[in-house]
Structure 1
């Protein structure tokens, strides 16, 4: 039995493997955590952007920078749990933060 079908041409392109930064190996520290007013964020790479999100995913603070260490002021943020997205020149990492 032969199934009726039209001729199909398949073309595939292959590219050289590209390395992607592994967030697990990106060393970033954030202290103190929990915090009462500010946190110090440090990285071996230039920190480009820091975004703080509440537990619903709402952006509550965003800072653009070009430094390996940032003093992030949190005095205007309500106590609670937050996610901090840190973008560096080598990749990005999401960290949890508790504000007291």
Structure 2
């Protein structure tokens, strides 16, 4: 016997809801690896940006296309991307007063 949508809705609305016990302690948030290690994440973002720009520049050079500023300076762009990533993580995970 296949349950119908009405039967499923009826069962879900009539089912007793679990009681949530209140505690005096605030619920702690799960801290992700990115939040635990913002510097390592920034370094990884910088390295990935640098590598992607090097590949893009090589492909454009092969086709004799003009390179963008970021493609001409992948190291500076990678450092900036890593620093911006670290700053964004630190700002978003800073404790609020």
Whether the TM-score (by the shorter chain) exceeds 0.5 is no
| Structure label with greater radius of gyration | 2
Q: Which has the higher contact order (CA 8 A, sep 6+)?
A: 2
TM-score (norm 1): 0.23
> Of Structure 1 and Structure 2, which has the larger fraction of its residues in strand?
1
> Of Structure 1 and Structure 2, which has the larger fraction of its residues in helix?
2
TM-score (norm 2): 0.24
